[in-house]
Amino acid sequence: MITHELGHNFYFFHSGGVYTLDYGSIWDVVSSGCGYGSQVPHTIVHNKLKSHWLTGIDSIEVPAGGTFQGVVYPTTNTSGLRAVRLKTQDADISFTIETRKPEKYDSCLPAHGVLIHIVNKSLFENKLNNILYGLQEARPIDSTPGDNDLTNAYFVVGENYTNTDYNIAIDVVAQVGNGFLINLYQLNNCGITLYQNTKLTNDVQCNGTAYFMGSDDITLDCQGHTITGNTTGFGILSENRNNITVKNCIIQNFSEGIKFDSTNQSFLLKRIICTDTIWHFLILTH
Ligand SMILES: [Ca+2]
């Protein structure tokens, strides 16, 4: 409790506000934490960034419209990248990414995973005179929404968070040591590697290759949208992959519309209009 109240003196506010107005997050000592009288967890990286406890090589700030790929290590580590803040076109809104692991001060936490918060800076400014009540500056993104439970809010390998209001996607690609490899990209951007099933929500215009298929067993569904190039690169490039599905795409004006090279097994191409003259397939079947 002392740690919690001390946090307020640093202008740290209750995170939560997802299912309850206040408190409600086990992941933050300046929320409910693990309960009074229990081992208290760390505070969220948003607060550590705000107070410059994490700086330099400990953290990275991704500008609005930017991308990031790298390993985010647990808050309980003493070195390595431990915080990512993604800015958005709205100067007040950002997202933070952190890895939490039940050990040391975080030993009361329920699992090892990736936590994502949406931060609204304007709420911080509104609350300077109202420190204990009101809206939360940082709200956890619940990976299992609607269940009135934030203990399972963490993301694990293979899971993805997509926010179409801000056109961002965050993939948890793999575990690397005790950290997680994060792939953060802008929805509908070009030149990106896809690791998860992806749906386009509008047409895209690309300089060079639009999409690299980065994992097996994934689907790109353009939902009828058009991918337009500048006569260079590939619309969709898949090399040494299994079970890639591309559907509902209109692909035009690339050097090659689709290149599937050594991409084997049950790939599917459905409802595709490719206006480029060259399609390049080297398909291995078992
Ligand atoms: Ca949940």
* Cα 142 to middle of ligand 1, angstroms: 5
* Cα 242 to middle of ligand 1, angstroms: 32
Q: Taking 80 as the threshold, does the pLDDT of residue 203 lie above it?
A: yes
Q: What is the pLDDT of residue 283?
A: 45
* Cα 109 to middle of ligand 1, angstroms: 14
| Range with top average pLDDT, 14-18, 60-64, 96-100, 183-187 | 96-100
* Cα 140 to middle of ligand 1, angstroms: 10
What residues does each domain of the chain span?
Answer: 2-186, 192-282
Residue recorded with tokens 């800076």 = 121
Q: Determine phi and psi for 48, rounding to 5 degrees.
A: -70, -35
* Cα 152 to middle of ligand 1, angstroms: 5
Q: Residues 88-95: what's their mean pLDDT?
A: 91
Mean pLDDT in the chain?
Answer: 85
Q: Determine phi and psi for 94, rounding to 5 degrees.
A: -145, 170
Cβ atoms within 10 A of the Cβ of 169, count? 23
CB 70 within 8 Å of CB 181: yes
* Cα 214 to middle of ligand 1, angstroms: 28
Q: Determine phi and psi for 98, rounding to 5 degrees.
A: -145, 155
CB 154 within 8 Å of CB 111: yes
Q: Residues 52-75: what's their mean pLDDT?
A: 92
Give me the DSSP letters along 133-189. Answer: SSS-SEEEPPSSTTSS-STT--B-TT-EEEETTTTEEEEEEEEETTEEEEEEEETT-
Q: Residues 132-148: what's their mean pLDDT?
A: 82
* Cα 151 to middle of ligand 1, angstroms: 7
Q: Taking 70 as the threshold, does the pLDDT of residue 273 lie above it?
A: no
* Cα 226 to middle of ligand 1, angstroms: 35
* Cα 229 to middle of ligand 1, angstroms: 40
Overall pTM > 0.85: no
* Cα 150 to middle of ligand 1, angstroms: 5
Q: Determine phi and psi for 51, rounding to 5 degrees.
A: -95, 5
* Cα 149 to middle of ligand 1, angstroms: 4
pLDDT band for position 264 (cuts 50, 70, 90): low
Give me Rg for the CA atoms of the chain: 21
Q: Taking 60 as the threshold, does the pLDDT of residue 36 lie above it?
A: yes
The least confident of 43-47, 100-104, 128-132 is 128-132
Q: Taking 80 as the threshold, does the pLDDT of residue 150 lie above it?
A: yes
Q: What is the pLDDT of residue 143?
A: 97
Q: Taking 60 as the threshold, does the pLDDT of residue 28 lie above it?
A: yes
Gap between the Cα atoms of 96 and 79, Å rounded: 18
Q: Residues 177-199: what's their mean pLDDT?
A: 89
* Cα 31 to middle of ligand 1, angstroms: 16
Q: Residues 189-204: what's their mean pLDDT?
A: 86
Q: What is the pLDDT of residue 257?
A: 86
* Cα 19 to middle of ligand 1, angstroms: 10
Higher pLDDT, 179 or 193: 179
Q: What is the pLDDT of residue 284?
A: 42
Q: What is the dihedral of CA 232, 224, 188, 231, to 10 degrees?
A: 10
* Cα 18 to middle of ligand 1, angstroms: 10
* Cα 111 to middle of ligand 1, angstroms: 13
* Cα 175 to middle of ligand 1, angstroms: 22
Residue environment code for 136-150, b if the CB has 16+ CB neighbours within 10 A, otherwise e: bbbbbbbbeeeeeeb
CB 266 within 8 Å of CB 243: yes
